[in-house]
Amino acid sequence: MTKKIRSALISVYHKDGLDEILPLLIEHDIKVYSTGGTQTLLEEANVKVNSVESLTSYPSILDGRVKTLHPKVFGGILAKREQNHQAQLVDYEIPELDLVVVDLYPFEDTLQSTDDESTIIEKIDIGGISLIRAAAKNFKDVVVIASKDQYADLYEILAENDAQTEEIERKRLAMKAFQISSHYDTSIFEYFNRPFGDRDHLKISLNSRQSLRYGENPHQYADYYGDLSREFEILNGKSLSYNNLVDIDSAIGIMREFSTSDGVTFAILKHTNSCGLSIRATVLEAYNDALAGDSVSAFGGILITDARLDLATAIAIDGQFYEVLIAPDFDEDALALLCKKKSRRILKRTRDVISKVKVKTLLGGIVVQAADLKTETNEDLQVITKNTPSEAEIGQLIFANKIVKHLKSNTIVLVKDYQLIGMGCGQTSRVDACKQGIDKAKRMGFDVAGAVMASDAFFPFPDCVALAHDNGIRAVIQPGGSINDKLSIEFCNQHDMTMVATGTRHFKH
């Protein structure tokens, strides 16, 4: 049913954007009720305003905490346009309200700007959220504008539709209103839950949706909810795809492991797995040695470094096909060269945003776990063999362990001179991962003798350390914890090998 707006309650925090709307209120002779700063703005624009205080016969009290919470306000919003309700409005001298315009106190923005609890609490909107819910509930008769982001909707109704709406439009606006109120309440819950960590309830609410071309495959739709600009500046290239985002997340995760390392780190990833990674004195050397780790898999991969990318490296990269290149900064001439190909996705990483939880849907539900943010250091290592690793070996073992943590299980990593030279990942048995890693290193032209080996989980049998020994590998890092640990330890002791345990498994599925 078509409804004409004849009266309105307007109470907004953000007043920018109302300029074009105010003359239309006058044009359509809409009776306006308001209070506080919004009332002042309206009156300055020559809009005739009836104060809420004159309607309720109560002033704004308690430092503005109570202004609109009154039956004469909510009665006019919630009343059905039917005989029984209309009669009650007459009896209690309550005016109908056909339009409610609210913009809530900026609670989330306040959280970003201060830690002062009293300031944050005062930005929890009570009256506004109540007005929104009331108007949305009575959408059959009332139009609700619940955010400054919807001022354009109101302008269209007033300017182009002669202040008239159909029920389907009012219902659409009500849907948006409940989404806004739900998101607002979720933010408040999350704030109050900070000191308690209540995990009995899962609430996720994200507003900014970016439509992606498709999901993992073309027949799957995909959206991204979040704000990439918090962490990246997109300098060039096509829009990021679902698979790009998944790979970028993995690239950021592996690079975070080396934030305190001496030298420059460069990693190349394919399908979330590192196929090349090295630490060197310069970004060019780091790139070349990362590429040497698996130049075949690097095709179409994700390139990431923790150093400013210079022209020499850009020239080397320019001949390589890759999906995304990420760096904290670029020399001007390097960026100019790389941007000559307009489709290349180039990201400048401006900030490290750490997700402390991982969320996944499965079996008709959702599982949530803490993110694996554990990074082993020298203090975590327990030598479990007769031989003790040298200081140089410990550095290599820690390096290898950081890489193995970010590969799909089951996985084995081979490292030599702070370079990933071979890895086997995503295998159904650990020994197959070990075989794959050794074979790949040899196919890429590396001598595995003298390399160190890392495993994401314990060795149930001594077959992997036996393979390592047969290929000249003498130092191994693994979590430990198998009931058969002694078998691998005994083999190492019998064959003059070194093994350390971290006590932490790093499965990744």
Residues with catalytic roles: 137, 271
User: Distance between CA atoms of 371 and 194, rounded to whole angstroms?
Assistant: 17
Which of these, 216, 219, 205, lies nearest to 246 by C-alpha position?
A: 216
Residues 6+ apart with CB under 8 A from 57: none
- The maximal CA–CA distance of the chain, rounded, in angstroms, is 97
Element containing residue 224 per DSSP (H, E):
strand 223-225
Q: Contact at 8 Å (CB) between 97 and 33? A: yes
Q: Cα-flanking dihedrals φ and ψ of residue 9, to 5°?
A: -115, 125
Length of the chain as a residue count: 509
Following DSSP, what letter does each residue of 409-446 receive, concatenated? SS-EEEESSSBEEEEE-S-SSHHHHHHHHHHHHHHTT-
Which of these, 238, 231, 305, 243, lies nearest to 272 by C-alpha position?
A: 243
Ramachandran sector of residue 133 (left: φ over 0; alpha: ψ -120 to 50; beta: rest): alpha
- Residue 375: strand, helix, or coil: coil
CB atoms within 10 A of CB 416: 19
Give the CA count within 13 Å in the CB-facing half-sphere of 19: 2
Which of these, 477, 459, 262, 277, lies nearest to 380 by C-alpha position?
A: 477
- Give the residues across from 270 on adjacent strands: 273
What is the strand order of the sheet 143-145 is part of? Answer: 49-51, 31-34, 7-12, 99-103, 143-145
- Strand boundaries in 59-163, DSSP class E: 99-103, 143-145
Q: Contact at 8 Å (CB) between 413 and 293? A: no
For strands 164-165 and 3-4, give the pairing: antiparallel
